[in-house]
Amino acid sequence: MNVFSSKLSSENRKSAIQNPKWVGIFAIVLTLVFGDAAATAQQPTKVPRIGFLDPSTASGMAVLLDAFRQELRKLGWIEGKNINIEYRFAEQKRERLPELAAELVRLKVDLIVTSGGSTPLAAKKATSTIPIVMTNSVDPVGQGLVASLARPGGNVTGNSGLSPELMTKMLELLKDAVPKLTRVGHLRSGGGGVTELQMKELRPAAVALKLKLEEIETQLDPKSLERAFHIAKQKQVGAIMTGDGARLFAERKRIVDLASKHRLPAIYFSKEYVDEGGLMSYGVDFDDLFRRAAVYVDKI
Tell whether 13 and 55 lie within a shared domain: no
User: What pLDDT shows up at residue 43?
Assistant: 52
Q: Do residues 180 and 265 touch, judged by C-beta distance below 8 A?
A: no
Q: Which domain holds residue 21?
A: 2-41
Residue type, 244: D
Residue 182: which CATH number?
3.40.50.2300
Tell whether 259 and 228 lie within a shared domain: yes
Tell whether 71 and 157 lie within a shared domain: yes
Tell whether 167 and 274 lie within a shared domain: yes
What pLDDT digit, counting tens, does each position of 147-206 carry?
Answer: 887 888 899 999 887 666 788 899 999 999 998 999 999 998 865 556 677 788 889 999
User: What pLDDT shows up at residue 282?
Assistant: 92
A 10 A CB-CB count for 38 gives 10
Cross-strand partners of 49: 84
For residue 86, the surrounding DSSP H or E stretch is: strand 84-89
DSSP 49: E
User: What pLDDT shows up at residue 194?
Assistant: 61
Number of domains in the chain: 3
Return per-residue pLDDT of the chain as tens, 300 residues.
443 333 334 444 444 444 544 444 444 344 444 444 444 445 557 899 999 999 999 999 999 999 999 999 999 999 999 999 999 999 999 899 999 999 999 999 999 999 877 899 999 999 999 999 999 887 788 788 888 878 888 999 998 876 667 888 999 999 999 989 999 999 988 655 566 777 888 899 999 999 999 999 999 999 999 999 999 999 999 999 998 788 899 999 999 999 999 999 999 989 999 999 999 999 889 999 999 999 999 999
Tell whether 63 and 138 lie within a shared domain: yes
Tell whether 109 and 11 lie within a shared domain: no
User: What pLDDT shows up at residue 228?
Assistant: 96
Tell whether 269 and 224 lie within a shared domain: yes
User: What pLDDT shows up at residue 199?
Assistant: 83
Q: Do residues 124 and 132 touch, judged by C-beta distance below 8 A?
A: yes
Tell whether 12 and 75 lie within a shared domain: no
Tell whether 105 and 183 lie within a shared domain: no
Q: pTM of the full predicted structure?
A: 0.78
Tell whether 80 and 178 lie within a shared domain: no
How far is 111 from 130, CA to CA, in rounded Å?
6
Tell whether 102 and 173 lie within a shared domain: no
How far is 253 from 274, CA to CA, in rounded Å?
9
| Nearest partner of 260 among 277, 275, 247, 274, judged by Cα | 277
Give the ranges where the chain is alpha helix by DSSP (H).
2-7, 10-18, 20-41, 62-74, 97-106, 119-126, 163-177, 193-208, 222-234, 246-250, 252-261, 271-275, 286-299
Tell whether 157 and 290 lie within a shared domain: yes
How far is 112 from 12, CA to CA, in rounded Å?
65
User: What pLDDT shows up at residue 196?
Assistant: 74
User: What pLDDT shows up at residue 45?
Assistant: 77
How far is 57 from 159, CA to CA, in rounded Å?
21
Hey, what's the torsion of the CAs at 207, 208, 212, 215, to 10 degrees? -60
How far is 90 from 122, CA to CA, in rounded Å?
12
